[in-house]
Structure 1
Amino acid sequence: MEVFALTRIIYGLVDMQSFFASCEVASRPEYAKREELDSETDPLLAVAGDPERRSGIVLAATATAKQRGVTTAMTLGEALRLVPDLVVVRPQMGFYLHVSTCIQAIVQQYFPLQEQFSIDESFFAFPYPSVLFPDPVGAAQNLRQKIWDMFKIRCRIGLADNKWLAKMANKLAKSNPDGIVWLQKEDISRRIHPLPVEEMWGVRKRAKVLRETFHCDTIGDVASVPVGSLKQQFGVWGDVIWRWANGQDHSPINPNSTEAPHKGYSHRTTLPRDFDTKADIAVVMLELLDEVCYRVRRAGQKGRRVGLALTYGGFSGGFYRAKTLDFCSNQPVDLYPVLLSLLDKWWHGEPVRAVSISLDMLQKSESIQLSLIEDRGKRDVLARTIDDIHDTYGETSLFRAVSLTNAGQLLDRSQKIGGHSKGDM
């Protein structure tokens, strides 16, 4: 038997292409006779909020629809103006979660050291060279074909020497005919460094600062900035950005990533129409805060910083503001007045289309902040009792009367997963 010396670990990232749309296409009999894996012949189809009302945004679109100009987060009305014959379907989040679970199990069968990264992405790692994995690209091809054979869903796979480079390789695989890119050390200067700084995965809005403050046009420019200068601008993130730009990442594969403790909790909802009164926006804020506080209490935690984010009509513009308190809480009665003060200070009457509430700077809720005015112990007992009722009978078994007003979104959201229709479970 041939013995290989363990010289390195190869990291991979598998990403399902247009996952929600691919699930819809694969599940519909009228599209059953599609061509093979590497033949892009999917129908013009998009998953969006409410096809009957022609409202909401595009959550996913097939490759053929994208070629016609349809993009994720585009309003459905705009997508239909671009492609009048676009087939639009409602999201079925329960179905997508089920398919995701099955695909994640397949990835783990091929690569036991695996970490789910999102509903449609998964990291994995394997030793190379080894008896089981003598050919990294061949192993990726086998996985890609298996997912297609079982689910009729296409995927891209990036391979590299660490997780960050695997993510960048996956992005490069979008333009590769076979959907696989193996990025090796000697490829960093040739294939990564010439990319625009905005293509640097993970930096998000920091890319604008890198371009404007440090005059970095490319990822290679970022790699040349002294790490001390980046740390002075971004704090600990400066060191991370410098290492990424130089092709370094020490992040391990975490098979239990979905069980990791939360650093913060948030809840967001997209409204069915623009809200333009404080009273209506405040109703939604309170509903979301109730959900966030419930999750924080169930985790046995409290938070010190509460945040409010509004997205304006047309999904353009908005703000996020937060306030750090001098006490920790997981009770809406403590946090709601703070959120209202943020709304009063930062909202100037613009139409609002989405609202998000967050609570972070968490700590364990083992202690009680005493008060001379109210019995907070009894208040906590009441909150736990309401939580138990929700756990047993559902969140609509007991709720605030304001949720019955025209502004209330609770009853509608209770029929959804992640803000979208559950579909058939």
Structure 2
Amino acid sequence: MLADCQSFYASVEKSQNPEYEGRPLVVAGDPKRRSGIVLAACPLAKEKGITTAERLGEAISKCPGLVIVRPRMAEYIRVSMQITDIYKSYTDLVEPYSIDEQFLDVTSSLHLYGGHAEKLALLIQERVQAETGVYCRFGIAENKIMAKTSCDNYAKKNTSGIYTLTRERLESELWGLPINKLFMAGSRMTQHFNAMGIPTIGDLARTPLPQLKLLMRRKFGKNSDINAEMYWRIANGIDPSPVTPGTHDEAPKSVGHQMTLPRDYSTLEDIKVVLLELTELVCQRCRSKGFMGHVVTVGCMGADFDRPTGFSRQAKMLDPTNVTNHVYRAAVELLEEHWDGQPVRKVGVGLAQFSQDEHYQISMFDDRERSMALERVTDALKAKYGNTAIMRAVSVTAAGQARDRSGKIGGHYK
């Protein structure tokens, strides 16, 4: 099963605030900080033509009486985990796909509920709504990609919110849909498929794989074979991957943080302030996981999103490290070498090529031991009292963003 929470953020707000009952509501960022984007819209708001990711001003023009709620990410995470616990009471095979979508493999537990998947889905649906106020839709199939397809194209559109897609019904029910209904086919890829003479999912599914690879090589170059096979498999409902609990607990290949700035940063000194703050967050996270990184990446995007400028470059440091000042020095070198002097609106820092921090090369020429001991203390203070308990002096300047960022999760208010 693929379980999807309908308009999740908006549903949480409406379930916890009865005064919003019967009123169109959206959850949106802070317009004052250039983040006035609709993150979630309840069904009543969607009936007014409001869509996710549109600008808040456009949403208000469509619905002058719109209720606008600032996001509470910590609460949404709490409710998501509560829903996960409900799913886990029916099967131990639960794999989060996003904050509001999760895969469930109920194959081994289905006999405990009469052997009927749709009856079990209804039971879970009713319990989640009773305990959290959130309405879930369930796509049911023999594998994950078909369950996702079933949910997106059918369960979200029928009255029960539950739909089973069998392999026998793929051709009659799915293949006639336009190619933009295919999972992973965005607007640009849809245009490419149409240009290749593949307007429907069935046209893609029926295209022999060698022929599809040839078409995509002509369109995108020789390195497109993997994407060609991925889309072909999705269209044909082929997915051998199991539902894997803890799939996101594996060691990451990289750790990074980026942020869109509230205004254009035009001076090197201002950009360095944010670069240092992001570097500190990256290193703090690596230290918490026991990793040291060997490769640092710095990226900056210009203020003009229609004609983007900027760069993304990486460099290998002499030794792996998770000491903020060491990584920051390497990041500044990349910034000074590649920044073109144009105003910047987005900055990012990352670390990769990890090794465990239990063993490292001792150097006679730096104060690594002292720096690591100091950062262990500051990490402990921040873990207990929050990231603003102790800050670098530059973070209280006009360019600093650490204080504001500490009140957010994933760029949205906690």
Q: Pick from 393, 399, 406 the counterpart of residue 401 of structure 1.
A: 393
- Larger CA deviation: 89-98 vs 77-86: 77-86
- The answer to whether structure 1 residue 123 and structure 2 residue 103 are counterparts is yes
- The answer to whether structure 1 residue 301 and structure 2 residue 291 are counterparts is yes
1:161-172 to structure 2, matched below 5 A, reads 161-172=142-153
After TM superposition, the score normalised by the length of structure 2 is 0.83
Q: Pick from 7, 10, 14 the counterpart of residue 21 of structure 1.
A: 10
Q: Which has the higher contact order (CA 8 A, sep 6+)?
A: 1
1:107 CA displacement: 1.8
Q: Distance in 1 between matches of 2:307 and 2:88?
A: 41
1:336 CA displacement: 2.9
- The answer to whether structure 1 residue 349 and structure 2 residue 329 are counterparts is no
Question: 2:75: which partner in 1?
Answer: 95
1:198 CA displacement: 4.6
Q: Which runs of 5+ in 2 are unaligned?
A: none
CA 1:355–1:196 in structure 2 vs 1: closer, same or farther (change >3 Å)?
A: farther
1:198-237 to structure 2, matched below 5 A, reads 198-202=180-184, 207=189, 211=193, 216-223=198-205, 224=207, 225-226=209-210, 233-234=223-224
Question: 1:177: which partner in 2?
Answer: 159
User: Is the contact made by 1:148 and 1:154 (CA closer than 8 Å) also made in structure 2?
Assistant: yes
- Larger CA deviation: 182-191 vs 305-314: 305-314
1:164 CA displacement: 1.4
Number of residue equivalences: 401
Q: Distance in 2 between matches of 1:377 and 1:110?
A: 49
Classify the secondary structure of the residue corresponding to 1:134.
coil
Question: 1:321: which partner in 2?
Answer: 312
Q: Distance in 1 between matches of 2:305 and 2:158?
A: 32
- Larger CA deviation: 135-144 vs 363-372: 363-372
- The answer to whether structure 1 residue 148 and structure 2 residue 148 are counterparts is no
User: Is the contact made by 1:267 and 1:357 (CA closer than 8 Å) also made in structure 2?
Assistant: yes
CA 1:264–1:197 in structure 2 vs 1: closer, same or farther (change >3 Å)?
A: farther
Q: Distance in 1 between matches of 2:82 and 2:377?
A: 36
Q: Distance in 2 between matches of 1:362 and 1:213?
A: 42
1:236 CA displacement: 5.3
1:395 CA displacement: 1.9
Q: Pick from 250, 258, 261 the counterpart of residue 271 of structure 1.
A: 261
- The answer to whether structure 1 residue 63 and structure 2 residue 43 are counterparts is yes
CA 1:337–1:21 in structure 2 vs 1: closer, same or farther (change >3 Å)?
A: same
CA 1:216–1:176 in structure 2 vs 1: closer, same or farther (change >3 Å)?
A: same
CA 1:385–1:30 in structure 2 vs 1: closer, same or farther (change >3 Å)?
A: closer
User: Is the contact made by 2:4 and 2:100 (CA closer than 8 Å) also made in structure 1?
Assistant: yes
What residue identity is the alignment partner of 2:15? Answer: A
Q: Distance in 1 between matches of 2:305 and 2:225?
A: 31
1:412 CA displacement: 1.6
RMSD across aligned positions (CA): 3.3
1:350 CA displacement: 4.2
Classify the secondary structure of the residue corresponding to 1:130.
helix
User: Which deviations, in whole Å up to 9, do the C-alpha atoms of 1:76-108 show, x marking residues without a partner?
Assistant: 233223322211111112221222122112222
Q: Which runs of 5+ in 1 are unaligned?
A: 1-11, 33-41
